[in-house]
Structure 1
Amino acid sequence: MSKPVRLAVIGAGLKAAEYARSWVRMPEIEFVAAADVSEASRRRLADICGAAGCKAPRDFDDFRVMLAECRNDLDAVYVSTPHASHAEQALAVTEAGLDLFLEKPMVTSVIEARALIEARSKANNVAVIAFNGALSPLVQDTYRRASAGEFGELVSVSATIWEGWSSQYNGHWKQKPELSGGGFMFDTGAHMMNTVCLLVCSEFERVSAYMNNYAKPIDITCAVAARLENGALVTFNAAGEGPPGCASHMTLFYSKAIVRIDAWGAWREIELNGKSSTREIAEAAHLENPLKSFLRIRRGEEENLSTVENGLRFARLWDAIKRSAAHDGESVRISDIG
């Protein structure tokens, strides 16, 4: 068996702790170091490792110090911090020549996306964005079949996502714009936008968007109408307030098929040439442990569809949505975004 991947964590919060409980039992990885401004979060991660009979990772309150001191003892870094921190930390990991597994959304702007792509090109490292959808076998199969022309030409897309997000995260960093980079559309809605960005196989051309903040400093609901360069039309609806729970439903209309799928790639239904299929369900392991996909990609066993390049398409869309919403739905041309 090959040596385990020596992994560091930047951001040892609740998401990292949730994953660590299963990751620490994987023989394919070894937790080497962890950086977080919270001592309690670092201690929790150390306790998780200890409970599994593993050595606690080296402990740092500054990710820069961790990268400087541990660079030669690492192979890859998982970044799980508030969204606005992603760009700086992902760049630092990439410039250190380490492979990167970065929580969604990739970055908060086109400028940051371009900087990360440039750094990745120079370092030639592996960079995977932890979007469950792009790493889902059902989404990947849909992408390949659509790209091969099996479904015919894309006509339009209708995508919706909803969650009792406003109440659930009241007072949380996700509702502080200086940390989050956006509201519900940029947080949970990022899964919807990213999966659509991948599946449409086209750049966006124009976007018109409306948001309602419901007296909060970030968007709670968002409605978007867009046109792709290939001529297809796309609508997004993100509803961040409502009953408990979270779900999504996306329908892609093609000239030969209708594909219904959720943002995370957990299920799919296909109508092809007038014949319907039963609902397909993805294996839970693909959704609950995306690190396995990262490791397969790193070994060259799986194509990486969750790329920094798709992250740039996502960033262009998000910048256009923000600009349009700030001007009461005025249509924004993506080429003006950069």
Structure 2
Amino acid sequence: STPHTLHFDQIMNALDRGLHVLSEKPMVCRVEHAHAAIAKARETGKILMVSYQRHLAPQFRFVRNQIKCGELGEVQFISAMQDQRWYEGTRGAWRQQLALSGGGQLNDSGSHLLDIVLWMTGLQVDEVHAYMENFESEVDINSALSVRFSNGGLGNISIVGNSPVGGMWEDITIWGSKAVVYMRNGSITYKTPSEASEPQGLPGATTPDQNFVDAILGRDEVQVPPECGLRVIELTEAAWESARTGVPAKVKAAA
């Protein structure tokens, strides 16, 4: 994939040439660019999609469905964490050069975590209070976000970019008024007041590439529309602002 800050011009140029676009994450690095890209896609009538593969993965689709149909009840609290040896793994590369990356792990791997929390729950963040640590880098490495959602629920989102161990680990726990779902690196435990279980018969899986082709051919709807990229950069920009100013920042709701 190309450096993040190049995505906007590439998206706009491709749409102007009458091409459908599948963009890697993050879609863009500025909220105003997200709005412009969405407007251009509508103007040209072409598909603009973001390659957030978790939208097509069974476990995440299951949780989204449970929330949409009310099985969890009202979402009251979310804890989400991503652990990666990102600082060492990207040292000396463009991902730690602000002019090319647009930001650190929050804007890179962390983009996946922000997106899937927002997509599964369908919630908008109203306000975020963030702390970030860059260490010796130009960009954020560790990020701690405390958020208030539009429904009054609360959440903590932790991005650990200087883990001493390799690979990636993600934990997401969503507490609803009726049930709790625990996601541990892709596995799911679903707990109600009467029982705890590992869900069976999860929805089918596909890939962003396949969905993109199917959408172009009219065989499926776009599963990751550009509005998902907009919501992510809205939260990311607000988190950067909060970390810079030391006070909570409001997150403007996506239109």
TM over 0.5: yes
Show the counterpart of 1:276. 196
Q: Which amino acid aligns with 1:180?
A: S
| CA distance in 1: counterparts of 2:253 and 2:228, whole angstroms | 18
Farther off after superposition, 140-149 or 124-133: 140-149
Quickly say closer, same or farther: Cα 1:154–1:284, change in 2 above 3 A: closer
Cα 1:285/1:326, change in 2 over 3 Å? same
- The aligned amino acid for 1:215 is E
For each residue in 1:271-309, what CA deviation from the matched residue of structure 2 results, as whole angstroms up to 9, or x when unmatched? 2453222266989974xx531232233334444331111
1:102 paired residue number: 23
Counterparts in 2 of 1:85 and 1:281: CA distance versus 1, 3 Å: farther
Cα distance in 1 between the residues matched to 2:53 and 2:4: 17
Q: Report the residue type matching 2:252 in the other structure.
A: S
Which amino acid counterpart does residue 70 of structure 2 have in structure 1?
G
- The answer to whether the aligner puts 1:116 opposite 2:37 as a matched pair is yes
Q: 2:231 aligns with which of 296, 306, 313?
A: 313
Corresponding residue for residue 246 of structure 1: 168
RMSD across aligned positions (CA): 2.4
Aligned-partner SS, 1:185? helix
Following superposition, the deviation at residue 172 of structure 1 comes to 0.7
Choose between structure 1 and 2 for higher RCO, CA contacts under 8 A separated by at least 6 residues: 2
| 3-state SS, counterpart of residue 134 of structure 1 | helix
Matched letter for residue 307 of structure 1: P
Query: If the length of structure 2 is used for normalisation, what is the TM-score?
Result: 0.91
Once the two structures are superposed, the pairs formed by residues 201-240 of structure 1 within 5 Å of their partners are 201-240=122-161
Partner letter of residue 249 of structure 1? D
Partner of 1:13: none
Indicate whether 1:169 and 2:66 are aligned. no
Q: Which amino acid aligns with 2:249?
A: V
Q: Which runs of 5+ in 1 are unaligned?
A: 1-79
Q: Give the equivalent residue in structure 2 for 1:255.
A: 177
Matched, 1:153 2:71: no
What is the CA distance between 1:143 and its match in structure 2?
Answer: 1.8
Structure 1 residues 230 and 161, CA gap change in structure 2 (3 angstroms): same
Provide the rounded CA distance (Å) in 1 between the counterparts of 2:137 and 2:20: 37
**Cα distance in 1 between the residues matched to 2:200 and 2:244:** 40
Measure, in 2, the Cα distance between the counterparts of 1:316 and 1:248: 22
Query: What is the CA–CA distance in structure 2 between the aligned matches of 1:201 and 1:97, rounded to whole Å?
Result: 31
Pair 1:267 & 2:187 matched: yes
Q: Distance in 1 between matches of 2:141 and 2:204?
A: 29
User: Distance in 2 between the 1:202 and 1:165 partners?
Assistant: 28
| 1:20 paired residue number | none
- C-alpha displacement at 1:325, in angstroms? 0.4
Contact 2:19 2:46 in 1 (8 A): yes
Cα contact 2:62–2:202 (8 A) shared by 1: no
1:142 alignment counterpart: 63
Secondary structure of the 2:105 match is: coil
Deviation at 1:320, TM superposition (A): 0.2
Residue aligned with 2:56, SS? coil
SS of 1:195 mapped into structure 2: helix
Cα distance in 2 for partners of 1:337, 1:151 equals 24
Q: Secondary structure at the match of 1:152?
A: coil
Quote the offset at 1:98 in angstroms. Answer: 1.6
**Residues 160, 237 of structure 1: 8 Å contact kept:** yes
Which amino acid in 2 is paired with 1:109? R
TM-score, scaled to structure 1: 0.70
Q: Equivalent residue for 1:184?
A: 105
1:177-206 deviations in Å (ceiling 9; x for gaps): 100011111111111011012122122111
Paired positions, count: 254
Equivalent residue runs for 1:62-73 within 5 Å: none
The residue number in structure 2 matching 1:322 is: 240
DSSP 3-state at the match of 1:194: helix
Aligned residue number for residue 335 of structure 1: 252
**Using the alignment, how far apart are the partners of 1:245 and 1:143 within structure 2?**
26
Pick closer, same or farther for the CA change 1:336–1:307 going to 2, 3 Å. Answer: closer
Kindly state the Cα deviation for residue 324 of structure 1 after the two structures are TM-superposed.
0.3
Offset at residue 138 of structure 1 (A): 2.5
Distance in 1 separating the partners of 2:69 and 2:36: 31
